[in-house]
Chain A
């Protein structure tokens, strides 16, 4: 039981628990806050995988930027504690949960029946793999074109968001 193991179990348990709370809480604000917890747990998990860059931008972009947007919208629409949306157990929910559980079982079955992964090689290469330097080198050489295309996506998203949220559409 190394530190890595302990961290994995703690963060994994935290991630699953916070995810469960996200989908079960009635109040969207609370859900959103648990989602931030979940993102932090994930960032930790990335660190255990030696993916430092991803871990950092997980916190900066997700927990920082995106979640702020979520909270902002929830509060803008004043959706906090919306009792009217209280969810009764319906057939659809049962079926949905059942289907998802079935899917989970199938995935689990695949993972358990698959052969053991080669973790030794990972151990060796992992340290240097997830650094900003390594990713940056890849990003600006091999993936330069997709990288540039993301700027277009972001521009389109900005324009789209502005147009959508404008008060008078017509």
Chain B
């Protein structure tokens, strides 16, 4: 069996890639997908630890994370649609009224 730390490194790498996407991309949809990427990498960590510790709680938590992720995706995408209707763009640099 592949040692658990391997999974953790892989998960960390994917998490960082997602984080880079969140920080650097301007397209709201892609940022949103990057967030999903980060969530999934965390799920991988949870499953890996679940196996490593021999308890099932981690996997149950993944189940809940997925549920919440589904809800989050629905609401997040609805927000993007609403934003697009109002500003005709999903460019995050232009959605900057949250200031001053």
Mutual binders A and B: yes
Chain A residues within CB distance 8 Å of chain B: 2, 4-5, 8, 12, 15-16, 19-20, 22-23, 25, 28, 31-32, 35, 38-39, 42, 45-46, 48-51, 53-54, 57-58, 61-62, 65-66, 69-70, 73-74, 76-77, 79, 82, 84-85, 87, 92-93, 96-97, 99-101, 103-104, 107-108, 111, 114, 116-119, 121-126, 129-130, 134-135, 138-139, 142-143, 146, 150, 153-154, 156-158, 160-165, 167, 169
CB 8 Å contact bits of B66-96 with A (1 = contact, 0 = none): 1111111111011111101100001100000
User: Lowest 4 A-B CB distances belong to which pairs?
Assistant: A96-B23, A23-B21, A157-B71, A164-B78
A100 to B18, CA, bound (A): 10
CB pairs A–B below 8 angstroms (27 shown): A4-B2, A15-B10, A16-B14, A23-B18, A23-B20, A23-B24, A23-B34, A31-B33, A39-B40, A57-B66, A61-B70, A62-B66, A62-B69, A77-B84, A82-B27, A96-B23, A103-B16, A114-B5, A117-B3, A123-B1, A129-B50, A129-B56, A129-B59, A134-B56, A153-B71, A164-B82, A165-B81
We find that the number of chain B residues with CB closer than 8 angstroms to chain A is 68
Which A residues lie within 8 Å of B23 (CB)? 92-93, 96-97, 99-100
Residue of B nearest to A24 (CB): B21
| Option from A65, A70, A93 in Cβ contact (under 8 Å) with B24 | A93
Count of CB-CB pairs between chains A and B under 8 Å = 239
Specify which of B19, B24, B75, B81 is in contact with A87 (CB 8 Å cutoff): B24
Q: Cβ of A20: which chain B residues have Cβ within 8 Å of it? A: 17
- Chain B residues in the interface with A (C-beta under 8 A): 1-10, 12-14, 16-21, 23-27, 29-30, 32-34, 36-37, 40, 43-44, 47-48, 50-54, 56-57, 59-60, 62-64, 66-75, 77-82, 84-85, 90-91
- Counting chain A CB atoms within 10 Å of each CB, the highest count among B5, B37, B62 belongs to B37
Assembled-state Cα–Cα distance A73/B28 (Å): 12
Bound-complex Cα distance A86 to B34 (A): 17
User: In whole angstroms, what is the CA distance A32 to B36 when docked?
Assistant: 11
Contact A49–B20 (Cβ < 8 Å): no
Q: Which residue of A lies closest to B49 (CB)?
A: A117
Are B27 and A92 interface neighbours, CB within 8 A?
A: no
Structural contact, B72 and A157, CB atoms closer than 8 A: yes
